[in-house]
Amino acid sequence: MTSYTLALLPGDGIGRDVMLEAEKIISVVENNTPLSFQINKIPCGGKHYLETGEEWPEGSFEFCRDEADAILLGAIGWPGAKTESGDLAGGSVILGLRSGLDLYANVRPIRLYDGVNHKIHGNFQQVWKPGMVDMVIIRENTEGLYHSLLRRCADAAQGRETWEPGEMDFPGLDGEVAWDPRPISRHGSERVIRYAFEIARRRNGAPVDGKTRVTCVDKSNVTRGCQLFNKIYHEIAEEYPDTETDHAYIDAFSMWLVRQPEWFDVVVTPNMFGDISTDLASVLQGGMGIAASANLGDSHGMFEPVHGSAPKYAGKNTTNPIAMISSVSLMFDWLGTKNNDPTCTAISDSIEQAVNQVLSGDKLTYDLGGSAGTSEVGDLVCQILEENLRKHIPIA
């Protein structure tokens, strides 16, 4: 019997609500497959910091690094919650793990499911049919504009002395200046770009023409970091002659993303551009209630919905749990590949199928035009998942 150790980090706000649904999914899996789970649910985040003075209990980073087979995160961020240094309280959790575990590829699939309308207003409903939006944005996750904060959070998470960038002087600027360096390295770019080309191999190409295409999105007409990123993109592309190369500056990409989403298959981009464009891209798939993500390194994986903690909606049982449930599916898919465990892969497919089925029905949360609660949608996914698993996966 295979057992997996999971670190569950509910975090703040609706992160806690959707984590409850993830837990239900995991117990359905446990009860209907040969797998078992060791679950460690760790209180954490900005609210937890305000209440206890710590972002998470001591040893949590080490648990995630040394014990957990996979990490599931809800959301981080609570109004007014800042650490002594003025940084995001809970940053040790989300950014400390991204940096400290070298989770360099932030994988954010954007797919419009059957039965879901995108959220662009106007009469585009007929133009964009399900199937016309099916891309994955790969966001570099360990450097770029996030580098300083990532580094400080990884230091805090591991009890190390905090790194600060050295002095800089900016000619022509007077008075108080705040700044963030934006380093982009060859190593950091190579690994994430190669990851994007590898993922492209396992997909079906762009909806518009079925071609396998990796689009490099940057601002190489302006920044040196992007010039390096772009140069490395072209170097790596030579290793994949069957994949079509493609490039867009981030400003133009923002336009093309909305005008012609069917063009895109795999997109690879530096950290902050990926952060911004994936919120934008979520409207193409029905909103943040659907958007799931994986933070992947060579040895660790952390899975989380793209949405934030939405304090206003916390505890109200209104949030769409699908983004979290699809993140659980991404987790099983990754566990399957990493451990060569076909049961995990089959579980991932079964969750995905259940999500598909729920989204084409009418028990939906408010963001998709329904009036069902978080837990009702979660229960329905669980019910369908249970049927799927019984059909497809023999209990050992």
- Host H or E run for residue 137: strand 134-140
What separation in angstroms does the CA of 206 have from each of 110, 158, 195, 307? Answer: 12, 41, 17, 25
Q: Does 140 help bind Mn ion (rule: CB under 5 A)?
A: no
Q: Which does 155 bind (CB under 5 to 8 A by kind): Mn ion, ligand IPM, none?
A: none
How far is 212 from 32, CA to CA, in rounded Å? Answer: 36
Q: Which does 42 bind (CB under 5 to 8 A by kind): Mn ion, ligand IPM, none?
A: none
Pick 92 or 212: Cβ nearer ligand IPM: 92
Q: Does 94 help bind ligand IPM (rule: CB under 6 A)?
A: yes
Q: Does 81 help bind ligand IPM (rule: CB under 6 A)?
A: no
Answer for the pair 77, 88: CB distance below 8 angstroms, yes or no.
yes
CB-count burial class (<10 Å; 0-12, 13-18, 19+) for 82: middle
Q: Which does 217 bind (CB under 5 to 8 A by kind): Mn ion, ligand IPM, none?
A: none
How far is 374 from 370, CA to CA, in rounded Å? Answer: 11
Pick 282 or 357: Cβ nearer Mn ion: 282
Beta-strand pair 105-111/134-140: antiparallel
Stretch 252-291: interaction string toward Mn ion, x if CB under 5 A: -----------------------x----------------
Question: Under rule CB under 6 A, which residues in 251-280 are in contact with ligand IPM?
Answer: 275
Q: Which does 7 bind (CB under 5 to 8 A by kind): Mn ion, ligand IPM, none?
A: none
Q: Does 76 help bind ligand IPM (rule: CB under 6 A)?
A: yes
Stretch 283-322: interaction string toward ligand IPM, x if CB under 6 A: -----------------------x-x--------------
Provide the 3-class DSSP secondary structure of residue 209: coil
Q: Which residues contact 335 (CB under 8 A, 6 or more apart)?
A: 4, 69, 70, 301, 341, 344
How far is 37 from 174, CA to CA, in rounded Å? Answer: 57
Least Cβ distance, residue 76 to ligand IPM (angstroms): 5
Q: Does 93 help bind ligand IPM (rule: CB under 6 A)?
A: no
Residues lying near Mn ion in the complex (CB under 5 A) = 275
